[in-house]
Amino acid sequence: MDNCLFCKIAAKQIPSSVVYEDDELMAFKDIHPAAPVHLLVIPKIHVPTLSECDASHTVLLGKMLALAPRLAAEHGCAVSYDADGVPAGGYKTLINTGPDGGQEVYHLHLHMYGGPRPWRGQR
Ligand code: AMP
Ligand code: ZN
């Protein structure tokens, strides 16, 4: 897509802080982080929103979500358990979809927020 910000990031026409890349996906740091760790996972192909996805996108969507635990481990926010089994760490994954979903960039992306709270606008 000609005028898509995240297509340009995927094509390296616009710089970003890339933290992961393979043939299908890229992950980079959000330019306005809302948490100590705030990453965006995108497909390299242009898909405007989750609303355009169907069963043919199942593998792609699965790969996007399955990347989150790896990124979490690499950025210090994986879930861990103490000797009593009490969990610590963790992160939030989010896909904003359309205007009512709060989407601003119309290229499918998965937000990944992590790190110690409070986060911007959240406890
Ligand atoms: P959304 O509201 O779900 O569409 O989120 C779009 C996200 O893209 C926001 O969190 C922005 O801070 C982020 N963003 C916008 N431009 C850039 C950029 N050039 N590099 C990295 N993140 C960006
Ligand atoms: Zn795009």
Question: Structurally, how many domains does the chain consist of?
Answer: 1
CATH of the domain at 82: 3.30.428.10
Q: Indicate whether residue 102 lines ligand 1 (CB < 6 A).
A: yes
Instruction: Report yes or no on 81 lying in a domain.
Output: yes
Residue having the nearest C-alpha atom to atom 15 of ligand 1: 31
pTM of this structure: 0.97
Instruction: Report yes or no on 123 lying in a domain.
Output: no
Q: Has residue 58 got a pLDDT over 90?
A: yes
The pLDDT-based confidence of 1 (bands split at 50, 70, 90) is confident
Query: pLDDT per residue over 90-103, tens digit each?
Result: 999 999 999 999 99
Instruction: Report yes or no on 75 lying in a domain.
Output: yes
The pairing of beta strand 87-88 with beta strand 25-29: unpaired
User: What is the pLDDT at residue 20?
Assistant: 98
> What number does the ligand 1 atom closest to the CA of 95 have?
3
Determine the residue type at 64.
Answer: M
Instruction: Report yes or no on 95 lying in a domain.
Output: yes
In 3D space, the residue among 62, 56, 57, 26 whose CA is nearest the CA of residue 41 turns out to be 26
Instruction: Report yes or no on 120 lying in a domain.
Output: no
User: Separation of 89 CA from ligand 2 center, angstroms?
Assistant: 32
Q: Helix/strand/coil (H, E, C) string of the chain?
A: CCCCHHHHHHCCCCCCCEEEECCCEEEEECCCCCCCEEEEEEECCCCCCHHHCCHHHHHHHHHHHHHHHHHHHHCCCCCEECCCCCEECCEEEECCCCHHHCCCCCCCCEEEEECCCCECCEC
Q: What percent of the chain has pLDDT over 90?
A: 95
Range of the domain at 55: 5-111
Give the environment of ion ligand 2: residues with CB less than 5 A.
1, 4, 6-7, 46, 107
Pair 53, 47: CB distance under 8 Å: yes
